Structure 1
């Protein structure tokens, strides 16, 4: 009976429905049936004869899987390193002075770090085999986070297992579509990847030019005043590096903090190079300028340079850092760093705290080498005098980037022959946001003695002079 009553009600509803409604429903039903039963693609069948097939095959030229590579390209002649790339490095069986790796404090040869890593290896094994939120957290990770937070004077720190992914995960964790990022034009490729992943609006200002940054912020403020409702939901960030990898100079943090307060923006500082380098105790660019870390909304850094470990970190206020534990893709989905690396990084931090003289030695070496290399004829040295990263370029190459790169590679090879390891700075030119001038990226270490520095200066000077003479002879 209930079934009959239900059918009766349906029939009455059908009779009372408007005619146009019934026609529309019938049309939709027929259209759905047509979509289900009709093929979405009907290939055009063409029958080719044997002669036509042979002609098509003869005309077809396959595209190369990779572009043509010149026979003298550096990737075809790799330098093979034996052992630790410490103060000295063994390249292709030859032991020479190392001025090419970012081992600023020579922690890669620290015996205490080695012992801590071996002890941890025996306790925890090689890897955690899981992300931090899924059985990948061990007490060594928590100890390192706590150690970093106390060392930098912040509320909390969070670890990433890969230095590159730290800033490229942190930026999209906070900045989303519709937000505005004001970014220094000289930032590294890792920051550029984080910017792209955020899908935010990007405004690049001239490298280390606070006036250009203020101009862009004022333009944004003028736009916001015309659309106050939309402006209330737009977040604005300023993103810089403490010590720029591509230039070797230091960001003007005091001016940036003043701009942050004036325009009410958030300030992110990437300190992969400045951490463990700048400041009386290696705490980075904030200590270098005597500015409280609370003035910076987020500090990111790498453990792979000064500390000679693996991975990276972000630090700041607890509510800022906690957000990354759910939104930082590199944190949520990457396996955590090996516990032995965390133990080694803890020991490395303790070494920094117990040996503050190491930073004054690094500054002394950097300043001396900067002054001396600047006096070499035909050479320009980029970067701050106290920066351990120097960019050496040639004065008389004009706009010919290929020629300058070739000459720099010849200088590097000549220096290697004379006993000093250098490296040409490499970039993904087709993907970089802004073009970068070819240069030799030289890295200074605190462990270099005066004879080491004198040797490096003499070799670089001789290599530059030799390549210049060779180039002039080729022109004549």
Structure 2
């Protein structure tokens, strides 16, 4: 009798079940979701989770057997013993017009010492005086007790040299443009970038996380096509367009090609399509223009039309570091936003002193020095063109040129053979090297760099060796 259920009991259970359903209907979704999750978690722990295996203690004999059987994999993959990185050339002494490699002296056409300032006694004396006064470094970023009066002097001198309102210096040439671009261009902005820009610019473009539109190298028509397409998109969404900033990123003289950018047309397009121009003059500073002030001087472009000019101090100036010049409004922004400026220890004072003295020499010899290097660049260009079998890429006034073979033999292997032959004849040249993650890898080439103090006899000897090397590797 105690186990039987009356009609009232059944009705009571039905009522309770109905109330339970109603409570589920009115319960918050997040509450039900949490309860379902708990039920599933408990079910997994009870039915599916495997118990931990009981650890078995190994005997000493078993341990030794495991150790004897273990074959460790190499920490690094095997490398060809003939890889260039394992067979480096050892330099001794100053890397100037001539260089001593493995105890043998040769003419140097491989380093960016355009004006032969590296090792110049006048500059070295200033650097020594700076070491005696300041020591070898500041051991702190510019904003944290790293600013020394000589840094401010160099910035003021650079601004005056380029006739701009203000200048800013960086401790490392690579980090200059790589820090500048992401300091201004952000996630929703647009960068129009020449495909031929060097690696530091590419890293700055990548760090900005902006929308990137690459145009064919030095192709104004392709650039204008991209600008016109963007203008159509802007008209479809004018509200969004007003919040987007646009930048054109170019080089004055392209290190990967040796040619000069058509800056005049780019300035014209700037005012038509409303973008800002960032011009990197790493190679053209100190080499192009009547007084070495780069492509803006060469083409007589008002520098106020260029929003920012950047360059390195590691090429023509023969020092270390980089700089940017422009309006005070533009330059000051970098002091709080450019990572290479904010977080790097400041430029060692001795290098700032060397750069200042390099500027002094540029200003003192502001016509003869730069006319000489451009004139010698033209003569070298003409001499190389007369050698059958080579293609010379680069502007005739550029002290940086790229040599390629005219046939299918233009491979890195063949070019390396030419380099090695030239070294045996006491001419130091090098194959242009690139990293595998670069946006666009140029064709293999020999990068040839002119030093202003090379005379005609030495240039003629270079061409003779290049001709002999070509005959040797192609027969």
Q: Structure 1-normalised TM-score?
A: 0.87
CA separation of 1:463/1:125 partners in 2, compared to 1, >3 Å: closer, same or farther?
same
Aligned to 2:470, which of 444, 464, 471?
464
Aligned to 2:438, which of 410, 427, 432?
432
2:4 corresponds to which residue? Answer: none
Cα distance per residue 1:217-256 (max 9 Å; x no partner): 1111111110111111011111000000000000000011
* Structure 1: distance between partners of 2:393 and 2:78: 33
Please, which runs of 5 or more residues in structure 1 have no aligned partner? 1-18, 470-476
* Structure 1: distance between partners of 2:338 and 2:250: 19
* Structure 1: distance between partners of 2:467 and 2:132: 48
* Structure 1: distance between partners of 2:271 and 2:50: 63
Q: How does 1:268-347 map to 2 (within 5 A)?
A: 268-347=278-357
1:376 Cα deviation from its structure 2 partner: 1.3
1:367 corresponds to which residue? Answer: 378
CA separation of 1:371/1:68 partners in 2, compared to 1, >3 Å: closer, same or farther?
farther
1:455 corresponds to which residue? Answer: 461
Cα distance per residue 1:257-285 (max 9 Å; x no partner): 01111100011101110011111100111
2:180 corresponds to which residue? Answer: 170
CA separation of 1:254/1:60 partners in 2, compared to 1, >3 Å: closer, same or farther?
farther
* Structure 1: distance between partners of 2:350 and 2:169: 14
1:9 corresponds to which residue? Answer: none
The structure whose Rg is larger is 2
CA separation of 1:225/1:58 partners in 2, compared to 1, >3 Å: closer, same or farther?
farther
2:364 corresponds to which residue? Answer: 354
1:76 Cα deviation from its structure 2 partner: 1.4
Conserved 8 A contact 2:434-2:441: no
CA separation of 1:77/1:298 partners in 2, compared to 1, >3 Å: closer, same or farther?
same
1:20 Cα deviation from its structure 2 partner: 6.0
Aligned to 1:221, which of 207, 228, 231?
231
Conserved 8 A contact 1:365-1:445: no
1:54 Cα deviation from its structure 2 partner: 12
For the pair 1:92 / 2:102, whether they are aligned, the reply is yes
CA separation of 1:23/1:394 partners in 2, compared to 1, >3 Å: closer, same or farther?
closer
1:410 corresponds to which residue? Answer: 417
1:419 corresponds to which residue? Answer: 426
2:396 corresponds to which residue? Answer: 385
Cα distance per residue 1:308-331 (max 9 Å; x no partner): 000000110100000000000000
1:74 Cα deviation from its structure 2 partner: 1.1
Q: Tell me, what secondary structure is at the counterpart of 2:247? A: strand
CA separation of 1:65/1:213 partners in 2, compared to 1, >3 Å: closer, same or farther?
farther
1:13 corresponds to which residue? Answer: none
Q: Tell me, what secondary structure is at the counterpart of 2:357? A: helix
Number of equivalenced pairs: 442
CA root-mean-square deviation = 3.0
CA separation of 1:355/1:395 partners in 2, compared to 1, >3 Å: closer, same or farther?
same
Q: How does 1:137-176 map to 2 (within 5 A)?
A: 137-176=147-186
CA separation of 1:283/1:23 partners in 2, compared to 1, >3 Å: closer, same or farther?
closer
Q: How does 1:55-74 map to 2 (within 5 A)?
A: 65-74=75-84
Conserved 8 A contact 2:259-2:394: yes
1:15 corresponds to which residue? Answer: none
Cα distance per residue 1:49-92 (max 9 Å; x no partner): 99xx9999999987654444323221111011000110100000
* Structure 1: distance between partners of 2:404 and 2:170: 34
1:145 Cα deviation from its structure 2 partner: 0.2
Moved more, 180-189 or 21-30: 21-30
Conserved 8 A contact 1:419-1:459: no
Cα distance per residue 1:303-357 (max 9 Å; x no partner): 0000000000011010000000000000000000101100110000000000121
* Structure 2: distance between partners of 1:59 and 1:268: 61
2:113 corresponds to which residue? Answer: 103
Conserved 8 A contact 1:116-1:344: yes
1:434 Cα deviation from its structure 2 partner: 1.1
